[in-house]
Structure 1
Amino acid sequence: MSSVLGADRTTSADALVFAPGVYAPQSDTFLLADALEREPLGPGAEVLDVGTGTGVLALAAARRGARVTAVDRSWRAVAATRLNAARAGQRVRVLHGDLLAPAAGRRFDLIVCNPPYVPAPRAGVPRHGAAVAWDAGHDGRAVLDRICDGAAGLLHPSGALLLVHSALSGVRATLDRLRGAGLDAAVMERRVVPFGPVLRSRADWLERRGLVAPGEEKEELVVVRAERV
């Protein structure tokens, strides 16, 4: 078990303050945390956590001595992350805003992002409600493509993006898009996990779309690492 969330991952998660409607740490969070732990971060490295939620990844980077900026479009997430950073005794700059926009004009050594990526029956991205944290249009790429297109402009040379999402959203599309933006991209982590409540509730729709096989009950999560060369 990774130590990035502390000696006991469950205990560390339980120590967090959660806000209603804010995405709580799940399998994708932990997979990205494992990738973050293996990333070489020198003292004072500049890290951007996009869609920080409760601040788990931001705190993991801060504990390693990084200078961390965390962003979320939810004011509740901003408040939860600020409170969790204070409780942990870690300095994290938490900004309210949409994806990469609050960090415009800055450069980072590492960007970590767990964006909404679940294919959904409705087009576009919801503006309100809990689904804001996971629904991302018919193909699940309404947010992923924006991250892929914009990350390179916020990275120092040799800086990297760590991006987690479901294979249902198109791994090849992510790699192609990042490479098209001038980044050297590859899958560095894979993990198969059972469907959660959201995917179980739309399994029939996913099957009709040809995204899952009949009776499928698991999905593959991937972490893509993309470096500015």
Structure 2
Amino acid sequence: MLRSGSGCVTAVLARTLRDALGPEHCTLFISTDINSRAVRATQATGSANSILHHEILQADLLAPLLPRLLHSVDLLVFNPPYVPTPTSEVGSHGIEASWAGGKDGREVLDRILDSIPNLLRPQGGCMYLVAVNENLPEDICARMREENLQAEVVRSRKARNEVLHVLRFIHA
């Protein structure tokens, strides 16, 4: 999990997996966020939802975890800062880090895309990514196909003033 925000997505995922697989199944969740307030919120949400195996790090994307996660991620969920903004807003530690995506809303997203084939477990590792029209979702899928991943837009939905897309990449 990247950019944990409040930790709600992790909590829903953890509860869903616990219900589907049973409480004896051990799933490790790793959340990162560059914002210390988001890290604290994720910790509180995880505790309130009894997520037992949850590592929460204040970090820029997955930088400190890359060697550890090499070819071992079963599921990666990423809701990047995707709003097109001036480049100067990208990478701050303030609240704008939650939405500031830079040119085409892709500056943060593009930094992680090259790592995906090396993170996902061969034969079935999967990533879900949230994007908007301005991020050029079909271009993202084409780029991931060049990395020999199955890539598709699995859901699109209008939400207020933006069209959200959920993209899925699978290591085949």
TM-score class, shorter: 0.7 to 0.9
Alpha-carbon shift at residue 126 of structure 1 (Å) = 4.4
1:1-229 equivalence runs, <5 A: 49-63=1-15, 64-65=17-18, 66-91=27-52, 92-105=54-67, 106=69, 107-120=72-85, 122-124=86-88, 125-157=90-122, 158-195=124-161, 219-229=162-172
Match of 1:216 in 2: none
RMSD: 1.4
**TM-score relative to the length of structure 1:** 0.65
Return the index of the structure with the highest Cα Rg: 1
1:52-84 Cα deviation digits (max 9, x unpaired): 111112112222133211111111111111111
Measured in 1, the distance between the counterparts of 2:134 and 2:171 equals 26
Alpha-carbon spacing, 1:227–1:143, altered in 2? closer, same or farther (3 Å): same
1:177 Cα deviation after fit: 1.9
Distance, in Å, in 2 between the alignment partners of 1:163 and 1:50 is 10
TM normalised by structure 2 equals 0.85
Letter in 2 for 1:94: I
Number of aligned positions between the proteins? 157
Give distance in 2, aligned partners of 1:182 and 1:100: 21
Identity, % of aligned positions:
35
- Structure 1 consecutive aligned stretches of length 4 or more whose deviation exceeds 6 Å: none
Partner Cα distance (2:94, 2:57) in 1: 20
| Aligned mates of 1:103, 1:62 — CA distance in 2 | 20
Unaligned runs of 5+ in 2: 19-26
Which runs of no fewer than 5 residues in structure 1 stay unpaired?
1-48, 196-218
Question: In the TM superposition, what is the alpha-carbon distance from 1:85 to its structure 2 partner?
Answer: 1.0
Q: Secondary structure at the match of 1:79?
A: helix
